[in-house]
Amino acid sequence: MKMKYLLSLTFMFYSFCLAEFEKNLQLKLILAEPGDTVYIEAGFFHMLGDISIKNKNNIVIQGSGSSKSILSFNEQVSGLNGFEVLNCKNITFQNFSIQGYRGSAFQCENIVGLYFNDIKIEHTKNIKYQNGLNGLNIKKCENFLIEYCFSNSAKNTGFSITESKNGIIRFIGSEHNSIGIKIQNSSNIDIHSNNILKNAAGIFIINIPDLSMQGTKKIRVFDNIIKNNNSPINTSSIGLSSGTGIFLMAVEEIEIFNNTILDNNTFGTAIFSYLITELDTKDSEYIPYSSSINLYDNIFRRSREIPSLHTELGRILFLKFYKDIPDIIYDGVINPKYRGKYDMVSDPRRVCIVDNFEANYLNLNIQRNFKSWYKPLIARYNTDENECNCTQKRIQEVVIRNNKQF
């Protein structure tokens, strides 16, 4: 009886200590006025619930360093995410870490002006939940900057951007996630100078139907190292295959240059239409084609490894090429609206692929080869990159406004 009593007292004291730090942090954020900085002191703090920030302007949440101020949600019993940020303007997170979370470490929605600096996000336990499990999840936001951050072991995506515009992701590390960086139905984003390593897929840029914001366009991907993204997939994202470096689907005005893309077993870079999913959509405004893609001056290299056999495309590539999978794979589908006289497409609407070091090219010609899906052994593919020999106007650099940090 004495032992049970002591254990009960210990648990009550432990829970009180946890609740006290969490309560104080939440109270500081509730009372914060524009221009305030809410500090997280050095230490390791267990969190039992999520922290919410709603309808706030010009607030900084600052720790003592990502290796010094650590918030652990491994013992979380209420709420879904770590930080939930909603309907705010100019919010800054910097210099602390989050360990463990049930939904997303940061769930940010309807924010204008969002800054992340020196934030580390990681799972330290094998948590099995049915939720998204994104490290950083930005939705319907504008003017955001993510820099010097790290996300590790997210079941879905390390850094996820959906229905957002005008952002920069730079100097970050994303490792051992299902997807390193995902850009979905978003525009005007620069992704550069990042290390995207050992995920299932490195950079995933897609446009899907039935969302409030249509179109994924004006994205620049440059100066990144995208290497060895062959980990198992733990998510059901459309079209995703393990072994992917960069994946584009139903997007336009995308510029990819000066990247080092190494040892991704299925796709070095894939350029596809929504048709590869074989899914129907009733969204009358949705454009399922990829166009205006500019891929140049990248370094490609891959070891002789078999592609992922968990998807139909992976099996097609394996049957046709075994271990010698081309680095750049295009489905060959062109928006019928862009076909002009003599079935020609003007350069600004084409897929342009030039001056990529050691890159082999493949056009699947899926509309010709896969009327009855699929006949890979008798299909006729194009492997001459000269069919994509064209140039396009460069996309302008993203400029962030409305936040003093920028």
* Per-residue model confidence (pLDDT) at position 16: 45
Nearest-angstrom CA–CA distance, 51 and 9: 26
Which domain covers residue 285, as residue numbers? 2-388
Nearest-angstrom CA–CA distance, 324 and 360: 10
Strand partners, 255: 220, 294
Strand partners, 220: 190, 255
Question: Is 402 part of a structural domain of the chain?
Answer: no
Tokens 């009960």, located at residue: 8
* Per-residue model confidence (pLDDT) at position 6: 42
**Residues 64, 41: contact at Cβ < 8 Å?**
yes
Question: Is 404 part of a structural domain of the chain?
Answer: no
Question: Is 351 part of a structural domain of the chain?
Answer: yes
**Cα end-to-end distance, the chain, whole Å:** 60
Strands (E), 126-177: 134-139, 142-147, 150-152, 157-162, 165-170, 173-175
Among residues 168, 207, 172, the alpha carbon closest in space to that of 191 is found at 168
H or E segment and range at residue 128? none
Question: Is 129 part of a structural domain of the chain?
Answer: yes
Question: Is 406 part of a structural domain of the chain?
Answer: no
Q: What is the tally of structural domains in the chain?
A: 1
* Per-residue model confidence (pLDDT) at position 80: 85
Question: Is 301 part of a structural domain of the chain?
Answer: yes
Please list the pLDDT of the chain residue by residue as tens digits (406 residues).
544 444 343 444 444 455 689 999 999 999 999 999 999 999 999 999 999 999 999 999 999 999 999 999 988 888 889 999 999 999 999 999 999 888 899 999 999 999 999 999 998 766 555 445 899 999 999 999 999 999 998 889 999 999 999 999 999 999 999 999 999 999 999 999 999 999 999 999 999 999 889 899 999 999 999 999 999 887 767 778 899 999 999 999 999 999 999 999 999 999 999 988 888 888 888 999 999 999 999 999 998 999 988 888 888 888 888 999 999 999 999 888 888 777 788 888 999 999 999 899 999 888 766 655 445 556 678 888 889 999 999 999 999 876 555 4
Question: Is 52 part of a structural domain of the chain?
Answer: yes
Tokens read off for 168: 């920069």
- CATH number for position 256: 2.160.20
Question: Is 394 part of a structural domain of the chain?
Answer: no
Q: What is the pTM of this model?
A: 0.92
